[in-house]
Structure 1
């Protein structure tokens, strides 16, 4: 009879219990994988979003920088006259409310305007702040850059400058001073009147040699040849004139008239050597005159002349003879007319400045339609210039060559020049007038100011990433 084994004390594992454990493990692993995947996805999305925002922000900053570069280029090309109404100009570079807006490739954009903080000509150099906002999708960047703009460090004086002047006729100089390192002849025939708008002093004659009432036929320009200061520092007919023969004003008319202008008539030691270089009606020497009025030894350096040649050539305004075609302000509102005249005996090397299209009323109000946003710079190398009867011209005229060239000849027949002259000699024996006004100073040729356009302060004002 078979024997039956005793029952086991442990229960056998059933298939259902194995399946339950596996299910729990599977769910746990799946949940963990989902959590890890979601985390990775969230980090990836965040990184992508951050990368895109960073890319947009960088593109926006590039756009803002492009606006700054464009504004600087505009100032170099067109000068500051067009933003004299800043920040309230109706639109454009001088308008805060309606600035210049430019769309760039790739969908970015900049908005830029220029704030006149301490503008020319009241301040020299003038201070301007460029405000530029760049946008690129969700990126926005705003930058500010302070720009300093002035005449060249050894810039052309805003005056009539020559190494000698010969007066006569019925011509006159209005609101502008005569500066010279040599003699001034026939002072009694040179009418100088008004307030010098460039230096904010009474318009007058300032010489580091002698100012004489004798005519130019007298070869001796010295202390005894009609010199206005030979009998004392104060000549009541010319109380603001200065010469090497002048001196400290005694109490009275001249002193009373010049006391409000200590920069030009007070006791000045300009070079720091302990001696007085300027005192009342006296200017010690040529170096003192040049220092006092910032007059360069030469009009332009060779590099600056090359730059002006390049500008003139780009405008088709470069000539190697005295015959030329007058530039039109409609095509080039800020023109450079350059004459490279060959050396010779001066015959045929005289440029006639009888040009149309470059005139306006004298003393036109700044910002008015009569005060045109245009300028003309005329540079003559190796020759002379003349203004014939009826000529009306607004220009800077620069003759760079020494004698026997560099002479500005008679202003005949009621000719009128609104502007400045830099020459070797100037003949004022005609019947024309030379004038200077605020409109001219506000419309200086960009070619005379662009070399000192420098960014003095750059700052990123707003780093905003928009969702």
Structure 2
């Protein structure tokens, strides 16, 4: 009979090793689990903080955009008291403009504008925008950006594709700049010194200036007040057109502004300033071409690029002063206002804006006021015309941006008085209106005609 096989007994050491191994494995698993949990939690916190930081920066950028919009709409006049403006938070560093942004991120921003080189004493003017954005907490992200402010190149004067006289219109302290024919020149009476250029007020055309009753954008060269044989016309010795020529050998015209019988024109210091490209030894020539018109006088048609026109349209839309009808509008109050008439969809017989209806307070001021108000009215008419008459007084910058058959200023009569600039396709001065330019208008250009360029973006809290 066989004996039964006995199993070997495990030692206590082997049992202890197994238990210890199990404990270590459990500890390792627990440590890994805890590590994964901590890492996952930290990642979630980091993701949330990163999301908040990004949202805060986005809010800061929104503040920058709104500050730029403010400068385009309101200009820089209200920032002269910055950084301690009591009534304008855009210029107050302690209690800046604060805006809550709608949305799930709970964003908000605080923004103010600091003058570095104020406009218009500096051209361009430099301003620094400070914006702090918040998102879902007290922590914020601060950014700054510098903004350069300069005026779009436009002329203080009357700029048109063609101009017609025919009545007894008076043009005072400003000039006419035309890319086409200026007819019945003898019916347009100029007076005084051009306030913008420091030269005698006169007509400057890249086509023909004539005393005849010609019509159209181009007039016969034989009708010009100048000719190759006689570029000096002592009756209109300050006028320039394409038939003129250098006046150096014509003492009756050359450098005669300094001795003009009008005391407001004679003996001006700019006539002796060789650095003054316009007024030095004026007049030097009776000739004018398109390139000189653009570079020397900054006069051109059309006055705006499409992008600039879209920007002006956006300003009016934001202000609630964008209209698609020539009637039924509300004249905005000051101190600065933009009125945009988009008449491209209006009926053919309903595309004329009566500027007399705009001649209400505060825009109905006379020229050369005793106290110059800090205000400006900008009127843009697209796809339509304008008229000004009936004894009204209006101070504004008026731009008619369309070509034929629109963009016409018609029948400026009824002893109306207009102070400011006009850009148009055609200007009809048949009547007894008075057109003026004064230093008050020059000192208060519409802020919407400023161009704002941003640069030097910085995240200052990094």
Instruction: Quickly name the TM-score band, shorter chain normalised.
Output: 0.5 to 0.7
CA contact (8 A) 2:377 2:446 kept: yes
CA contact (8 A) 2:339 2:378 kept: yes
Q: Which structure has the larger Rg over C-alpha atoms?
A: 1
2:340 aligns to what?
336
CA contact (8 A) 2:212 2:223 kept: no
2:90 aligns to what?
93
Which deviations, in whole Å up to 9, do the C-alpha atoms of 1:98-146 show, x marking residues without a partner? 4211123544321122345566656776654433221332543222334
Distance change in 2, residues 1:387/1:201 (3 Å): same
CA contact (8 A) 1:164 1:425 kept: yes
CA contact (8 A) 2:55 2:107 kept: yes
Which deviations, in whole Å up to 9, do the C-alpha atoms of 1:37-78 show, x marking residues without a partner? 8877765665555444323322211111121222233345x2
CA contact (8 A) 2:111 2:129 kept: yes
CA contact (8 A) 1:99 1:113 kept: yes
Deviation at 1:403, TM superposition (A): 6.9
Specify which of 175, 178, 182 is matched with residue 176 of structure 2. 178
SS in 2 for 1:354: helix
2:460 aligns to what?
462
Asked if residue 325 in structure 1 is aligned to residue 324 in structure 2, the reply is: no
- Alpha-carbon distance in structure 2 between the residues aligned to 1:257 and 1:221: 35
Distance change in 2, residues 1:403/1:335 (3 Å): closer
Distance change in 2, residues 1:66/1:157 (3 Å): same
- Alpha-carbon distance in structure 2 between the residues aligned to 1:328 and 1:462: 43
Asked if residue 131 in structure 1 is aligned to residue 107 in structure 2, the reply is: no
Specify which of 48, 62, 65 is matched with residue 69 of structure 1. 65
CA contact (8 A) 1:169 1:429 kept: yes
- Alpha-carbon distance in structure 2 between the residues aligned to 1:429 and 1:113: 50
SS in 2 for 1:262: coil
- Alpha-carbon distance in structure 1 between the residues aligned to 2:26 and 2:401: 90
CA contact (8 A) 2:368 2:439 kept: yes
1:102 aligns to what?
99
2:113 aligns to what?
114
SS in 2 for 1:158: coil
- Alpha-carbon distance in structure 2 between the residues aligned to 1:359 and 1:177: 22
Query: Mind listing any 5+ residue stretches in structure 1 that lack a counterpart?
Result: 1-13, 268-277
Q: TM-score normalized by structure 1?
A: 0.67
Distance change in 2, residues 1:326/1:227 (3 Å): farther
Specify which of 180, 204, 224 is matched with residue 207 of structure 1. 204
1:11 aligns to what?
none
1:262 aligns to what?
276
SS in 1 for 2:392: coil
Which deviations, in whole Å up to 9, do the C-alpha atoms of 1:293-347 show, x marking residues without a partner? 333343566787788788679746222xx6x234221599432134456558xxx
Instruction: Kindly report which structure 2 residues correspond to 1:188-227, keeping only aligned pairs within 5 A, or say none.
Output: 189-193=189-193, 195-196=195-196, 201-202=198-199, 204-208=201-205
Query: Mind listing any 5+ residue stretches in structure 2 that lack a counterpart?
Result: 1-10, 259-268
CA contact (8 A) 1:183 1:221 kept: no
Distance change in 2, residues 1:383/1:94 (3 Å): same
SS in 1 for 2:144: strand
CA contact (8 A) 2:333 2:362 kept: no
Distance change in 2, residues 1:229/1:263 (3 Å): farther
- Alpha-carbon distance in structure 1 between the residues aligned to 2:370 and 2:428: 29
CA contact (8 A) 1:119 1:126 kept: yes
CA contact (8 A) 1:59 1:139 kept: no
Specify which of 281, 288, 299 is matched with residue 284 of structure 1. 288
2:75 aligns to what?
80
2:266 aligns to what?
none
CA contact (8 A) 2:378 2:397 kept: yes
2:424 aligns to what?
422
2:56 aligns to what?
60
- Alpha-carbon distance in structure 2 between the residues aligned to 1:365 and 1:97: 37
Q: TM-score normalized by structure 2?
A: 0.67
Instruction: Kindly report which structure 2 residues correspond to 1:428-439, keeping only aligned pairs within 5 A, or say none.
Output: 429-438=431-440
User: How many pairs does the alignment contain?
Assistant: 420
- Alpha-carbon distance in structure 2 between the residues aligned to 1:299 and 1:48: 55
Instruction: Kindly report which structure 2 residues correspond to 1:317-396, keeping only aligned pairs within 5 A, or say none.
Output: 317-319=323-325, 324-330=327-333, 333-340=337-344, 351-355=353-357, 356-357=360-361, 359=363, 361=365, 362=367, 370-372=373-375, 375-379=377-381, 381=383, 383-396=385-398
CA contact (8 A) 2:408 2:426 kept: yes
